[in-house]
Structure 1
Amino acid sequence: MSVAACVDLIYREAFLLDEGRYEEWLKLFAATGRYWVPLSKSQDEGDSQLSIADEDMNLLRLRIERLASGRAHSQQPPSSMQHVLQQPMLIEQDADASEYTFRTAFTYAECRGDDVLALHGHYVHRLVRDGEQFHIRLKRVNLVNAASRLPMIQLFP
C-alpha cells in the first residue's frame, strides 16, 4: 500500500461526504476511529478542553442514523456540502509503514436553503493499516476560526 493509495482514501472520504453516502464514509474509519474538531489547532489530543465536535464510532453511527432517519428537524430541508482539498501532504510515517499522518488544507461549504456556511482550515488524517487497506484512525479538523463564534455546523467539515 503506497502513499498514493492513502491520498486516494483522503479524496474518496471527501467525495463520499459530498455525495451524502455516510454509511460508506463510516466504513473508511478504523474500529477505534475518531472525528475531532478542536477549539484550537494547538489543542493536544487527549486533553480535557472543550471541542466543537469529538465523536467516536458510536457517536458517528448515531449521527448518521439520525441523518438517514428523516427525523432530524434541522435537516428539513436537507443540507448539502462541498469539500475542496489541496493535495494531502505526508507529515509523518512510522517505521513499519503501518501508520501515516497527512495534512490537507481545505475549504468547506455547507448549504441549507439560502444559507451558505464557508469554513477553512486543514485536516490531519491519521491512517492505519488494517491488512491490505488503510482506515482512518483520526480525522482532526483544524478550523482557521475555531475559537470564533460559529453558526451551527450540521454535517461534516
Structure 2
Amino acid sequence: MTNNNAELSGLAGPLGRAIAYIWAEAEILDRKDYAGWAALWAEDGKYIVPIEHGTDDYAGRLNYVYDDARMRRLRVERLSSGHSMSAADAAKTVRTVSRFRLVSEAGGVVEVNSSQVVVGYKRGKHTLYAADLTHRIDLAGETPRLLQKVIRLVNAEDSLSAIGFLL
C-alpha cells in the first residue's frame, strides 16, 4: 500500500490526484513551508483573493491579492525573511479543505472547486477564515503545477484585518 491520499480515500484518476495535491498544499501552508509552496506553482500561475464574490474578471477588478510569479516570490520572501511584522509573529494555522467538485478536465489540466476553513491562532486569539476555493492544476507534466488558485473569502466584501499568512 502506498502513502497516497487519493488511494487511501478511494478516489482515483485526475480528481483524486488533484485532491491529494490540494491536501498536500494545505499541509505545506500549515507548516509555513513557503519555499515548498512556491515550488508548487507554474511560472505563469496566478494566486488570487478577490474582493467581489461574483467576478471572474480578476485582472480588471480590485483584489486583496493578485499575484503572478514575481509577486509570489516577493510575498514568500517577506514571509520567510523574519523582517516583516506579520511574519515575525505569524499565526499558527490549521486548515481543512473539503467538498471537492471537478469543474473541468482537458489536456491534463483540471479545475476543482472546494471549501476551506482556516483557523489561525496568534497571541491567545483564534481567527476563522472560510472560503470557496478554485484550483486549476496541470497534472500532465512529470510534476503537477498550480496554474491558478482563487480564494473567495465568505466575508471578502467586509473589512478584513491583516491576515499575515497565505490562504
Residues 41-63 of structure 1, C-alpha deviations (whole Å, 9 max, x = no match)? 21113442110111111111111
Q: CA deviation at 1:116?
A: 2.5
Amino acid at match of 1:134: P
Aligned to 2:121: 111
TM-score for the superposition, normalised by structure 1 = 0.90
Within 5 Å, give how 1:8-157 maps onto structure 2: 8-94=20-106, 96=107, 98-157=108-167
Tell me: CA distance 1:35–1:104, structure 2 relative to 1, closer, same or farther (3 Å): same
* Structure 2 SS opposite 1:81: strand
Tell me: CA distance 1:46–1:38, structure 2 relative to 1, closer, same or farther (3 Å): closer
Amino acid at match of 1:112: K
Amino acid at match of 2:144: F
Q: CA deviation at 1:87?
A: 4.0
Q: CA deviation at 1:130?
A: 4.7
Q: CA deviation at 1:3?
A: 2.5
Percent of counterpart pairs with the same letter? 24
Greater displacement, 25-34 / 37-46:
37-46
Give the total of aligned pairs. 155
8 A contact 2:58–2:66 mirrored in 1: no
TM-score for the superposition, normalised by structure 2 = 0.85
* Structure 2 SS opposite 1:127: strand
Give the 4+ runs in structure 1 shifted more than 3 A.
none
**Runs of 5+ consecutive residues of structure 1 not aligned to the other structure:** none
Aligned to 1:6: 18
Residues 47-100 of structure 1, C-alpha deviations (whole Å, 9 max, x = no match)? 421101111111111111112111112233232212111142211112x3x210
CA distance in 2, matches of 1:59, 1:22: 13
* Structure 1 SS opposite 2:126: strand
**Runs of 5+ consecutive residues of structure 2 not aligned to the other structure:** 1-12
Q: CA deviation at 1:39?
A: 0.7
Residues 105-147 of structure 1, C-alpha deviations (whole Å, 9 max, x = no match)? 1111222212322111210001123523321100000111110
